Amino acid sequence: MPSADTAIARAPILVDAATLSGPRFAALPPLALYVHIPWCLKKCPYCDFNSHEAKGDAPEAAYVDALLADLEFALPSIWGRRVASVFIGGGTPSLFSAGAIDRLLAGIRARVPLAPDAEVTLEANPGTFERAKFAGFRAAGINRLSLGVQSFDPKHLVALGRVHDADEARRAAEAALSIFGNVNFDLMYALPRQTVAEAAADLAAALAFAPPHLSFYHLTIEPNTLFHRYPPPLPDDETAADIEDAVDAKLDAAGYRHYETSAHAQSGRECRHNLNYWQFGDYLGIGAGAHSKLSFADRIVRQLRHKQPKQYLEQVAAGAPLQEDGAVTREDVGFEFMLNALRLTDGVPAALFAERTGYPLVLVRRGIAAAEARGLIERNPALLRPTALGRRFLNDLQALFLADKPREAK
């Protein structure tokens, strides 16, 4: 006999007419602004971000003009909405001068209402570090710095093709903390030939600075990268899992909460901008290849801007920055919400599903039943929260919601 769980999981999802007619929002989600700067000193062999080697100087003045024109073009789609956070990412935004970032932020403030306590983050590469420049970013209004350290081990920095050495990383880290206070370090693990002891030493080197936030990314081999073409010798899955366990235990003991798959923070120092993505908030992305997700009273749209910097500059000048613009379908929205929310250790209140997707939770009933039956999600009607097992097998958990395509009620 099938268990009650299996019976629920197999039952067709019958949705009422209101569910089929499109989303309905009583209030729109919080809004964040992402700004993409697509140039780096040198392309790293593992990176598939929309980043391009700046041959000579990046055209920063023309690009800031284009970003502000792009923002003006987007204003009708966010009219009257307050921006809760700004994230200037890349690429390597710290390649730009403090003057360019100052003009960019002044232009943003003049065009959209920025919350008085808005978190304003800039990504920086230690290879572009100058103390005066960091101080200039702070004076321009950047109040959080995300530093791409990757590793403090000289041999791993070389293997990763980084433009900076360990001393530069240390100097940038020390200056970032003294100038901004609110700082994240990006570190990667499961690096070529990395041992558990080496990863633990990297973490200890990072913890010596006591940054409020640490992001730990499992190095992944992405298509269209040099590492994909010439794969380096990576640690096996067992070693990678041992590194994760060791890192988790040390960070926990040092007072950091593992609040999201790759993110650890001291209390109250979680990244508000990224939390908004994981809680399925709205975001406007400006700049080359930037993605947006915007809600309106009766629909959610996703947009993509032209990816190549040269083409982006031309298309903005022509008044047409968008390469793609389309509504999120009912079939996709449940999966997209769960994909994000289940990355959070605490999950989200179940009521947030309807608030942020505009549809009732019944849309993902089959996935929830299957995840509960496998012990991947907590059995708590008020919460959508992964169990420890669900966090470990996150891909499997997320995949259960892919199949959740509702069938129409007869």
Cα distance between residue 201 and residue 173, in whole Å: 17
Compute the least distance from the CB of residue 40 to ligand SAM, in Å: 6
Question: What sign has the CA pseudo-torsion 289, 291, 296, 298?
Answer: positive
Q: How many residues bind ligand SF4 (CB under 6 A)?
A: 11
Residues 142-171 that bind ligand SF4 (CB under 6 A): 148
Q: Based on the shown chain and the rule CB under 6 A, indicate whether residue 92 belongs to the binding site for ligand SAM.
A: yes
Binds ligand SAM by CB under 6 A, chosen from 49, 73, 209, 296: 49
CA–CA distance from 196 to each of 148, 152, 242, 363, 384 (Å)?
21, 15, 7, 42, 33
Longest dimension (CA), the chain: 71
Choice from 30, 38, 90, 390 touching ligand SAM (CB under 6 A): 90
DSSP assignment string, 100-165: HHHHHHHHHHHHS-EEEEEEEEEEE-GGG--HHHHHHHHHHT--EEEEEEE-S-HHHHHHTT-SS-
Q: Smaller CB distance to ligand SF4: residue 90 or 285?
A: 90
Does 235 interact with ligand SAM (rule: CB under 6 A)? no
Q: Is 307 in the site for ligand SF4 (CB under 6 A)?
A: no
Instruction: Residue 220: name its binding partner from ligand SF4, ligand SAM, none (Cβ under 5 to 8 Å by kind).
Output: ligand SAM
Residue for token digits 């499961």?
Answer: 190
Burial 177-201 (b: 16+ CB within 10 A, else e): bebbebbbbbbbbbbbebebebbbe
**Amino acid letter for position 310:** K
Asked if residue 281 has a cis previous peptide bond (ω within 30° of 0), the answer is no
Task: Choose which of 8, 28, 47, 361 interacts with ligand SF4 (CB under 6 A).
Answer: 47
Residue 40 interacts with ligand SF4 (CB under 6 A)? Answer: yes
- The one of ligand SF4, ligand SAM, none whose footprint includes residue 37, by CB under 5 to 8 A per kind, is none
**Which among 214, 217, 147, 216 is positioned nearest to 178, based on CA atoms?**
147
State how far the Cα of 229 lies from the Cα of 234, in Å rounded to an integer: 14
- Contact pick of 90, 93, 281, 287 for ligand SF4 (by CB under 6 A): 90
The three-point CA angle 76-39-84 to 5° equals 40
Residue 47 burial class via C-beta count within 10 angstroms: exposed 0-12, middle 13-18, buried 19 and up: middle
AA letter at 306:
H
Binding mask 98-127 for ligand SAM (x = CB under 6 A): -------------------------x-x--
- C-beta closer to ligand SF4: residue 60 or 336: 60
Cα(390)–Cα(387) distance, rounded to whole angstroms? Answer: 5
Count CA atoms within 13 Å of residue 2 on its CB side.
10
Residue from 8, 24, 43, 143 in contact with ligand SF4 (CB under 6 A): 43
Q: Segment 220-279, which members bind ligand SF4 (CB under 6 A)?
A: none
Nearer to ligand SF4, 91 or 287 (CB): 91
Q: Which of residues 154-213 bind ligand SAM (CB under 6 A)?
A: 186, 188
- Alpha-carbon distance 29 to 296, whole Å? 10
Binding site partner of 43, from ligand SF4, ligand SAM, none, Cβ cut-off 5-8 A by kind:
ligand SF4
Nearer to ligand SAM, 150 or 276 (CB): 150
Which one of residues 19, 85, 121, 125 is an interface residue with ligand SF4 (CB under 6 A)?
125
* Residue 51 found at the interface with ligand SF4 (CB under 6 A): yes
Stretch that binds ligand SF4, among 85-93, 237-245, 265-273, 278-286 (CB under 6 A): 85-93
Alpha-carbon span 281 to 32, nearest angstrom: 8
**For 181-268, where are the alpha helices, taking DSSP H only?**
196-207, 226-229, 237-253
**Of 8, 28, 41, 47, the one binding ligand SAM by CB under 6 A:** 47
Which residue, chain included where needed, has tokens 């067709």?
12
43-51, 112-120, 190-198, 211-219 -> range binding ligand SF4 (CB under 6 A): 43-51
Answer with the entry of ligand SF4, ligand SAM, none that 186 interacts with (C-beta below 5 to 8 A by kind): ligand SAM
Q: Which parts of this chain interact with ligand SAM (CB under 6 A)?
A: 40, 46-47, 49, 89-90, 92, 123, 125, 148, 150, 186, 188, 217, 219-220, 222
Q: Which parts of this chain interact with ligand SF4 (CB under 6 A)?
A: 40, 43-44, 47, 49, 51, 90-92, 125, 148
